[in-house]
A and B are shown apart, each in its own frame.
Chain A
Amino acid sequence: MIDARIRSVFPPAGGVADRVDGHLQLLLVAGSVVWVIVVTAMFVAVLRRRRAERTEGDDGVPGDEPGRGHLVVAFLGGVAPAVIILGVMADSVLTLRDTGGTADASRAPVVVEVDGRQFWWEVRYPEHDVETANEIHIPTGQDVRVELTSDDVIHSFWVPQLAGKVDLVPGRTNVVTLHADEPGTYWGRCAEYCGLQHAWMRFVVVAHDEPEYAGWLEAQGRPAESPGRTDDGAGGPDGGDETAGGARPGAGPDTEEVAAGREIFMSSSCVYCHTIAGTEARGTLGPDLTHLASRQMIGAGVLPNDRESLARWITGPQDVKPGNAMPGTDLSEDELDALITYLESLE
Chain B
Amino acid sequence: MTTTDEETRPTAEERSAFEEVWARPRGWRRVLTSVQHKSVGTRYMVTAAVFFFVGGVQALFMRVQLAQPEQQVLSAQTYNELFTMHGTTMMFLFAVPFLEGLAAYLLPLMLGARDMPFARYNTFNYWCYLFAGILLYSSFLVGMVPDAGWFAYVPLSGPEFADKAMDIWLFGLALAELAAIGAAIEMIVVVLGMRAPGMSLDRMPIFAWTMLSVAVMIVLAFVPLLVGSMLLELDRNAGTAFFDTERGGDPLLWQHLFWIFGHPEVYVMFLPGAAVISQVLPVHSRHRLVGYPFVVAAVVVTAIMSLGLWVHHMYTTGLPPVTLSFFTAASMSISVASGVQVVAWIATLWSGRPRLTVPMLFSLGFLFTFVAGGITGVMVASAPFDAQAHDTYFVVAHFHYVLIGGMLFPVLAGLFHWWPKFTGRIPSARLGAVSFWLTFGGFHLTFFPMHLTGLSGMPRRVFTYDATLGVGLLNLLSTVGAFVLASGFVLAAVTLLAALRRGERSGPNPWGADSLEWAADSPPSSPNFGRIPVVGSRAPLWNPPPRDPELDRMAAAFDHAPQNVRATPFTTVLDARPSTAAVQASPSIWPVVTAGGLALAFVGLLVESAWVVGASVLVIAAGFVAWELQNERELGAGEAREPVGGRYPVEAPGPRSPGWWGATAAAVVLVVAVATVAFSLLFLEVNAPVWPAGGTLGRPWLSAGTGLAVVLAIAAAWWGSRHGPLDHAATPEARGAHLTAAATTGLAGTAALVLTVAQWVTADLDHTTHAYDSGVLALLGTLGVAIVLGLGITGSALVARLTHARDVRPRIMLQNAAMLWAGVLVVWAIAWAATDLVPGAVV
Query: Which A residues form the contact surface with B (CB < 8 A)?
Result: 2-3, 5, 7-10, 17, 19-20, 23-24, 27-28, 31-32, 34-35, 38-39, 41-42, 44-46, 48, 50, 54, 59-62, 64-65, 69-70, 72-74, 76-78, 80-82, 85, 88-89, 92-93, 95-97, 99-101, 152-154, 156, 158, 160, 163-167, 169-172, 174-175, 187, 189-199, 322-323
Asked if B387 CB lies within 8 Å of chain A CBs, one says yes
Pair B288/A61 contact, Cβ less than 8 Å: yes
Pair A169/B156 contact, Cβ less than 8 Å: no
In the bound complex, how far is the Cα of B324 from the Cα of A93, in angstroms?
9
What is the distance, in angstroms, from B433's C-beta to the closest C-beta of chain A?
Answer: 15
Which one of B160, B316, B321, B385 lies within 8 Å of A20 (CB-CB)?
B385
Asked if B372 CB lies within 8 Å of chain A CBs, one says yes
Pair B346/A38 contact, Cβ less than 8 Å: yes
In the bound complex, how far is the Cα of B462 from the Cα of A190, in angstroms?
10
Which residues in chain B, 214-269, are within 8 Å of chain A measured between CB atoms?
A: 245, 250-252
Pair B347/A164 contact, Cβ less than 8 Å: no
Interface flags for B293-318 (1: CB within 8 Å of A; 0: not) read: 11100100000000000000000111
Pair B388/A20 contact, Cβ less than 8 Å: yes
Interface flags for B318-329 (1: CB within 8 Å of A; 0: not) read: 101100110011
Pair A77/B339 contact, Cβ less than 8 Å: yes
Q: Which residue of B lies closest to A154 (CB)?
A: B153
In the bound complex, how far is the Cα of B76 from the Cα of A192, in angstroms?
15
Contact A198/B456 with A88-B382, A96-B321, A191-B390 known, Cβ cut-off 8 Å: no
Pair B463/A164 contact, Cβ less than 8 Å: no
Pair B384/A38 contact, Cβ less than 8 Å: no
- A64: chain B residues at CB < 8 Å are 288
- B383: chain A residues at CB < 8 Å are 92, 96, 100
Pair A7/B251 contact, Cβ less than 8 Å: no
- B291: chain A residues at CB < 8 Å are 69-70, 72-74, 77
Task: Tell me the dominant secondary structure on chain A's binding face.
Answer: mixed
Q: A31-B378, A31-B379, A85-B336 are in contact. List 9 more A-B contacts (CB 8 A).
A: A8-B456, A38-B346, A42-B349, A54-B353, A77-B291, A85-B333, A85-B378, A99-B384, A164-B316
A-B contact pairs, 28 of them (CB 8 A): A17-B388, A27-B378, A31-B375, A31-B379, A38-B371, A45-B349, A59-B539, A59-B542, A69-B290, A69-B291, A73-B294, A77-B294, A77-B298, A77-B343, A77-B344, A92-B385, A96-B321, A100-B383, A101-B320, A152-B161, A154-B251, A158-B459, A160-B457, A164-B384, A165-B391, A167-B318, A191-B390, A191-B459
- A82: chain B residues at CB < 8 Å are 336, 339
Pair A189/B384 contact, Cβ less than 8 Å: no
Of B51-59, B465-473, B758-766, B788-796, the segment with at least 4 beta carbons within 8 Å of chain A is B465-473
- A196: chain B residues at CB < 8 Å are 76-77, 80, 147
Interface flags for B175-200 (1: CB within 8 Å of A; 0: not) read: 00000000000000000000000000
Contact A42/B77 with A73-B294, A77-B343 known, Cβ cut-off 8 Å: no
Interface flags for B535-548 (1: CB within 8 Å of A; 0: not) read: 00001001110000
Contact A322/B346 with A88-B378, A153-B161, A156-B316 known, Cβ cut-off 8 Å: no
Q: Which 4 A-B pairs have the closest CB atoms?
A: A164-B387, A77-B343, A171-B245, A73-B291
In the bound complex, how far is the Cα of B314 from the Cα of A174, in angstroms?
13
Q: Which residue of A lies closest to B354 (CB)?
A: A46
Residue among A171, A174, A190 with most chain B CB within 10 A? A171
Asked if B134 CB lies within 8 Å of chain A CBs, one says no
Task: Tell me the dominant secondary structure on chain B's binding face.
Answer: helix
In the bound complex, how far is the Cα of B156 from the Cα of A244, in angstroms?
45
Which residues in chain B, 278-300, are within 8 Å of chain A measured between CB atoms?
A: 286-288, 290-291, 293-295, 298
- A78: chain B residues at CB < 8 Å are 294, 336, 339-340
Which one of B287, B329, B354 lies within 8 Å of A89 (CB-CB)?
B329
Q: Which residue of B lies closest to A71 (CB)?
A: B291
- A174: chain B residues at CB < 8 Å are 317-318
Q: For this complex, into which size category does the number of interface residues on chain B fall?
A: 35 or more
Which residues in chain B, 445-485, are within 8 Å of chain A measured between CB atoms?
A: 455-457, 459-465, 468-470
In the bound complex, how far is the Cα of B290 from the Cα of A46, in angstroms?
15
Which residues in chain B, 542-591, are within 8 Å of chain A measured between CB atoms?
A: 542-544
In the bound complex, how far is the Cα of B344 from the Cα of A70, in angstroms?
9
- A198: chain B residues at CB < 8 Å are 80, 461-462
- B336: chain A residues at CB < 8 Å are 78, 81-82, 85
- B631: chain A residues at CB < 8 Å are none
Q: Which residue of B lies closest to A301 (CB)?
A: B466
Residue among A32, A69, A89 with most chain B CB within 10 A? A69
In the bound complex, how far is the Cα of B379 from the Cα of A35, in angstroms?
13
- A197: chain B residues at CB < 8 Å are 76
Pair B324/A96 contact, Cβ less than 8 Å: yes
Pair B391/A156 contact, Cβ less than 8 Å: yes
Contact A171/B250 with A38-B346, A42-B367, A92-B328 known, Cβ cut-off 8 Å: yes
Asked if B352 CB lies within 8 Å of chain A CBs, one says yes
In the bound complex, how far is the Cα of B225 from the Cα of A61, in angstroms?
46
- A46: chain B residues at CB < 8 Å are 349, 354, 356, 364
Pair B375/A7 contact, Cβ less than 8 Å: no
In the bound complex, how far is the Cα of B340 from the Cα of A328, in angstroms?
61
Pair A34/B375 contact, Cβ less than 8 Å: yes
Pair A7/B456 contact, Cβ less than 8 Å: yes
In the bound complex, how far is the Cα of B250 from the Cα of A39, in angstroms?
45
What is the distance, in angstroms, from B424's C-beta to the closest C-beta of chain A?
Answer: 24
Asked if B155 CB lies within 8 Å of chain A CBs, one says yes
What is the distance, in angstroms, from A298's C-beta to the closest C-beta of chain B?
Answer: 14
Pair A9/B455 contact, Cβ less than 8 Å: yes
- B460: chain A residues at CB < 8 Å are 193
Asked if B332 CB lies within 8 Å of chain A CBs, one says yes
Which residues in chain B, 759-802, are within 8 Å of chain A measured between CB atoms?
A: none
Which residues in chain B, 76-110, are within 8 Å of chain A measured between CB atoms?
A: 76-77, 80
Asked if B803 CB lies within 8 Å of chain A CBs, one says no
- B388: chain A residues at CB < 8 Å are 9, 17, 20, 24, 160, 164-165
What is the distance, in angstroms, from B383's C-beta to the closest C-beta of chain A?
Answer: 6
In the bound complex, how far is the Cα of B436 from the Cα of A213, in angstroms?
59
Contact A165/B385 with A69-B347, A153-B156, A170-B251 known, Cβ cut-off 8 Å: no
Q: Which residue of B lies closest to A69 (CB)?
A: B290
- B77: chain A residues at CB < 8 Å are 196, 322-323
- B347: chain A residues at CB < 8 Å are 45, 69, 72-73, 76
- B328: chain A residues at CB < 8 Å are 89, 92-93, 96
In the bound complex, how far is the Cα of B456 from the Cα of A88, in angstroms?
23
In the bound complex, how far is the Cα of B338 from the Cα of A82, in angstroms?
11
In the bound complex, how far is the Cα of B349 from the Cα of A73, in angstroms?
13
Which one of A2, A7, A28, A93 lies within 8 Å of B470 (CB-CB)?
A7
Pair B332/A31 contact, Cβ less than 8 Å: no
Pair B290/A193 contact, Cβ less than 8 Å: no
In the bound complex, how far is the Cα of B148 from the Cα of A198, in angstroms?
11
Q: Which residue of A lies closest to B158 (CB)?
A: A153
Asked if B342 CB lies within 8 Å of chain A CBs, one says yes
What is the distance, in angstroms, from A166's C-beta to the closest C-beta of chain B?
Answer: 6
Asked if B495 CB lies within 8 Å of chain A CBs, one says no
Asked if B392 CB lies within 8 Å of chain A CBs, one says yes
Asked if B740 CB lies within 8 Å of chain A CBs, one says no
In the bound complex, how far is the Cα of B77 from the Cα of A194, in angstroms?
12
